[in-house]
Amino acid sequence: MNADFSLYVGFLESVRPNALANKHGDVHIAAMHTGLAMVILEFAWFVMAQGEVFPEIGDINQETSPAALDGIPPGLSVLLQTLEFGGVAETANLTAPIMPNDPYRSAASYYLALLMMRFVWQHELAHCQLGHIDFLRDVGRHAESSTLGFDELNLNELEQMALSLDSRILQCLEFEADGYALGQSIGIQVENKENIDGIAALPRDLRLRMTLFGIYAMSWLMEAMASTFTRGRLAITHPAPIRRLQMTQNMAVWELTDLGLEAPTITRSVLREFEFVLGQIGKQWLQTDKFDPISYRTVFEETRVKLEPYRYVVD
């Protein structure tokens, strides 16, 4: 294990949604594109406009639970329009995002967005602290790999650059980063360590469910964006697979069970509300690709052993 760990965190000004982890010299870097923050906020607005989701917040009678426009996931609609207009869209030409009417639910949408972004930050931190970047550079020893890091929406390109790397290992590293981020995010609520005053003022059960909902949403949203980027120019022609969400659900059950909480009750409740939101986008977004995470177990355990020398010990 490594003892010295230094991290620089910040936003990158870019309309394209993305997040990344890398290393410059001895300093690790975790960054989020401003475009991703906007995607997250628009998605959170849409969620809280659905009266069936977190009905204990505000007056749900003010919400009309509108469906998404043209079957495009909220969070990507404004982005698509902005890119269509060359990166700086005129406000008059943009279709207004779907937003909650009730002021309390409007405020809650910003809290949900912050919880989703926290999961992203924790995920990128995990790539750094768990030794993924150092491992990646070490196993892909050729000129192109000297600056390799994790670009969340371009893992296919990463696989092509690090030719000696099994694609299943990359997937396992993503799962491990998700698991770390999930554990950290849930732990903040269970241990009452929330440092955002508005969120901290909410009942713990609600905070926990909003956190888990945000994790599900972020896992699915990153998968949706990655798959649409792969198809080129963000042209959504087929539903995204939800294998990452399925694995996240499994990890949530394990984490909550370890904490002595009613994992099946909590996860089923949150997943039911999230599936309602996907249904409001379009039933095609509920399709799965029959992904079986159990098949990754052997590779995952072998990878964890290989990663041990690259881990960082952080107080």
pLDDT digit string, tens, across residues 74-107 = 887 766 766 666 655 555 566 788 999 999 999 9
Q: Record the tokens describing residue 139, joined without a space.
A: 């196993």
Rg of the chain over Cα atoms, rounded to whole angstroms, equals: 19
Q: How far apart are CA 202 and CA 208, in angstroms?
A: 10
Asked if the model's pLDDT at residue 164 lies above 90, the reply is no
**What per-residue confidence (pLDDT) applies to 233?**
45
Asked if the model's pLDDT at residue 202 lies above 90, the reply is yes
As a dihedral over the C-alpha atoms of residue 186, residue 18, residue 248, residue 251, rounded to 10 degrees, the angle is: -50
Average pLDDT across the chain, whole number? 85
User: Could you give the angle at the alpha carbon of 208 between the alpha carbons of 202 and 213, nearest 5°?
Assistant: 110
| Residue 66: DSSP 8-state | P
Q: State the number of CA atoms in the 13 A half-sphere of 230 facing the CB.
A: 17
Q: Return the SS3 of 22.
A: strand
Asked if the model's pLDDT at residue 143 lies above 50, the reply is no
Q: How far apart are CA 115 and CA 98, in angstroms?
A: 20
pLDDT greater at residue 270 or residue 285:
270
Q: What is the identity of the amino acid at 18?
A: N
Cα dist. 170→19, 52, 254 in Å? 16, 37, 22
Q: How far apart are CA 78 and CA 260, in angstroms?
A: 41
Q: Return the SS3 of 31.
A: strand
Asked if the model's pLDDT at residue 110 lies above 70, the reply is yes
- Least confident among 175-184, 213-222, 234-243, 283-292: 234-243
**What per-residue confidence (pLDDT) applies to 105?**
98
- Cα 300 to the chain's mean position, in Å? 20
Asked if the model's pLDDT at residue 234 lies above 70, the reply is no
Q: Record the tokens describing residue 148, joined without a space.
A: 């390799």
